[in-house]
Amino acid sequence: MNVESSAPTPPLRAAARPVPLFSPGRVATIATGTVTQLVRMKTFYFLLAFALVVVAVGNFNLPATPAKELSMIKKVSFGTMDLFAWLFAIVATALLIPRDQEDRTLYTILSKPVRRVEYLLGKLCGVLFVVGISLVIMYGICATMIGARESLFISAEIEAMTAGGRYSQEEIDEQVGLIRQQGLRPELGFAVLASFLKASVVAAVTIFLSTFASSSLFTIIVSILIFLIGHAHTMASGFWLHSSDNSLFVQMLVKVVKILIPDFQLYSFSEGIVQGEAVALALVGQMGLVTAGYLVVFLLLSLLVFVDKEF
Amino acid sequence: MSLPAVEVKNLTKVFTLGLKKEYVVAIDNLSFEVKAGEVYGLIGPNGSGKSTTMKVVLGLMAPSKGEAKVFGLDSGDIRARNEIGFLPENPYFYKHLSGAETLRFYGKLCGMRGRELENRVTELLKLVDLEGAANRRLGVYSKGMLQRIGLAQSLVQNPRLVILDEPTAGVDPIGSRQIRDLILHLRDQGYTVFLCSHLLEQVQEVCDRVGILFQGRMRREGRLEELISIEDQTTLTLEGASPELLASLHELVASDPDARLVAEGHPRTSLEHLFIQIAERNRQASK
């Protein structure tokens, strides 16, 4: 150890640096650290599995019209993309905080001038950044495959329809239009955004669970359960609340579940987009606001638990 | 008079176990001070409350009663953390980061950026002799190297107080000696060092004052020389003394009715010193 050659700066200084109430810089440092951690954990390997699924689906010749075949490719690809996004959000988030605690890395971080809200926010931002990048890459893979199949179908259709000379230009254009409607359209970006918003809420729920859970496995299982219940509770609560023989206890329970568990069915508008339906921008904006509300609520709940947690 | 680096007053920490509402008193009405610029050692067996005391000082735990202050600031105040560098026992940092990246990460958490941060990283890597391993990931670091990078991260924001929890746990004698030298160097530089250890020989070598903790209570505290010296005994170590001189000394002692020869023999080196001597000799020879 070079104790003679390299002396640190004399410590007798006037006062320590002031600590701001909230530092975006520290949040960014923790978020960047989280991204690096997830990237170096080779989590992006799951994109290879996704690419394989998309390529396999894209090359599967279905006994259907080109438009239906394109629709099928989109449904499977976007469904897989959505599944990978929320599953990745849960697993990645559930691994981060408990691991920091088990490895005592959390001690060294929180013994620096870092506020707990900055730590939580940094972790969440890091996970969301990786989920966002993953979705963009997955969308790129999907778009390449759908675009290629669309061009192939259109040229084959035009060739087939013009060959016999039996179809007018209007009929050919109509057929091509049908294929294009199921092809690569800018609106599909909103479906990707819906997956991202849903994954963000799932990540926030998982962060909340991991602030008090004792293991990553518990966090993952409960998060998946909440996600599944979140897809069904609107329907279930409607059924129970309108049923005549429900007790006060059941009614209360259903109300509590409805308040505590996010309604993931709200994001199902993306299915319509994938099927070629038009989307209202107002609906997308509304989803953005609902997501922001969920993120704030779950971050506040996480903070409530985490701020007084003793390590 | 300068503020004490650490001031613990009537600190009590009680843990509740499970749902049965069983209580365990980890620290019981503990009071002590660590003066600015000294090396203070808190010693005690496992479970005596050393780590809990440190965690309260670090703000990782809240006291059940009493208070802990760092340079006059409440230990729960985030500004106090700017004054502290902490090395936990058996530190595990992010294995995916290299040594230099680890220091940059912790430096940025302390608000350091740009040239200031880069200079500090270079300076600290040199200090802990890890310049050659700066770009290696921590996953391949040895235990001693991890401990040294841990020490470097604790110093990154140039804190006034360095808290070390079992700084040489699991480190070989050479690594242990390096860390000990660094602690002494830090004291010479004016840092305050507060360390917890149950390696008594090490504490004896580096600490100015020690506190002995047992079952959450301070049993003895004071300057090391005062605590360990046996007031009514004296040690003489002679080199090259002839048998005649020794005989004269024996006669002299025997002639005094109040004095008694307690022990006589050849002083021994410690196994640790012997090991370091051999290792040093081999290292010189291999050069």
Q: Which of A29, A112, A118, A306 to mutate to test the interface with B (most CBs of B within 10 A)?
A: A112
Q: What is the pLDDT of residue A1?
A: 55
Confidence bin at B269 (pLDDT 50/70/90)? low
Closest chain A C-alpha to B55 CA, distance in angstroms: 8
Distance CA B71, CA B189 (A): 18
Q: Which of B109, B140, B156 to mutate to test the interface with A (most CBs of A within 10 A)?
A: B109
| CB nearest to B60's CB, from A17, A29, A311 | A311
Q: What is the pLDDT of residue A237?
A: 64
Residue B38 φ then ψ, to 5°: -105, 165
CB contact under 8 A, A107 and B60: yes
- Reported for B22-25, long-range contacts at CB under 8 A and 24+ positions apart, including other chains, are B25/B216
Distance CA A251, CA A248 (A): 5
Residue of higher predicted confidence among B270 and B63? B63
What is the sign, positive or negative, of the torsion defined by CA atoms of A294, A295, A297, A298?
A: positive
Please say if the pLDDT value at position B279 is more than 80: no
Residue A44: its chain B contacts at CB < 8 A?
none
Q: How many CA atoms lie within 13 A of A118 on its CB side?
A: 24
Residue A122: its chain B contacts at CB < 8 A?
none
What are B134-162's pLDDT values in tens digits?
999 999 998 888 989 999 999 999 999 99
Q: At CB < 8 Å, which residues of chain A contact B?
A: 1-3, 5-13, 16-19, 23, 25-26, 29-30, 33, 36-37, 40-41, 103-105, 107-115, 308, 310-311
The tens place of each residue's pLDDT in chain A, 311 residues long, gives 555 444 444 444 445 567 788 889 999 999 999 999 998 888 778 888 888 888 887 777 766 777 788 888 888 888 889 999 999 999 999 988 888 888 888 999 999 999 999 999 999 999 999 999 999 999 999 899 888 888 888 888 888 888 877 888 888 888 888 888 888 888 888 999 999 999 999 999 999 999 988 788 999 999 999 998 888 766 666 666 666 566 777 777 777 777 778 988 888 887 888 777 777 888 889 999 999 999 999 999 999 999 888 87
CB contact under 8 A, A16 and B83: yes
Q: What is the pLDDT of residue A122?
A: 95
Confidence bin at B201 (pLDDT 50/70/90)? confident
**ipTM, 2 decimals?**
0.81
| CB nearest to A19's CB, from B79, B97, B163 | B79
CB contact under 8 A, B93 and A2: no
Token pair 């991991």: residue: A210
Q: What is the pLDDT of residue A174?
A: 87
| Distance, first Cα to last Cα, chain B | 50
Distance CA B71, CA B227 (A): 26
Q: What is the pLDDT of residue A6?
A: 44
User: Which structure tokens are listed for A278?
Assistant: 């038009």
| CB nearest to B110's CB, from A2, A13, A112 | A112
Which class for B103: exposed (0-12), middle (13-18), buried (19 or more C-beta within 10 A)? buried
What are B103-125's pLDDT values in tens digits?
999 999 998 999 999 999 999 99
Distance CA A217, CA A227 (A): 15
Q: Which of B38, B83, B94 to mutate to test the interface with A (most CBs of A within 10 A)?
A: B94
Looking only at Cα atoms, what is the longest distance across chain B? 75
Taking the CB of residue B198, how many other CB atoms lie within 10 A of it? 14
| CB nearest to A111's CB, from B62, B86, B181 | B86
Strand partners, B86: B163
CB contact under 8 A, A7 and B92: no
Residue B105: its chain A contacts at CB < 8 A?
29, 33
Which residue ranges make up each domain of chain A?
24-306
CB contact under 8 A, A112 and B81: yes
| CB nearest to B62's CB, from A3, A30, A310 | A310
Residue from A109, A15, A19, A85 nearest A306 by CA = A109
| CB nearest to A3's CB, from B61, B155, B181 | B181
Q: How many CA atoms lie within 13 A of B13 on its CB side?
A: 28
| CB nearest to A111's CB, from B84, B124, B181 | B84
Please say if the pLDDT value at position B258 is more than 60: yes
Closest chain B C-alpha to A119 CA, distance in angstroms: 10
Closest chain B C-alpha to A205 CA, distance in angstroms: 24
Q: Length of chain A, please?
A: 311
Q: What is the pLDDT of residue A17?
A: 65
CB contact under 8 A, B96 and A37: yes
CB contact under 8 A, A8 and B127: yes
Strand partners, B222: B210
Q: What is the pLDDT of residue B225?
A: 77
Closest chain A C-alpha to B87 CA, distance in angstroms: 7
Q: With residue B212 as reference, give the H or E element that holds it.
A: strand B209-214
Give the sheet arrangement for strand B209-214, strand by strand. Answer: B84-87, B161-165, B192-197, B39-43, B209-214, B217-223
Residue A98: its chain B contacts at CB < 8 A?
none
Closest chain A C-alpha to B204 CA, distance in angstroms: 20
- Model pTM? 0.83
A-B CB pairs within 8 A amount to 135
Tell me the DSSP string of B229-247.
--TT------SS--HHHHH
Average pLDDT, integer, range B34-55: 90
Closest chain B C-alpha to A277 CA, distance in angstroms: 45
Strand partners, B157: none
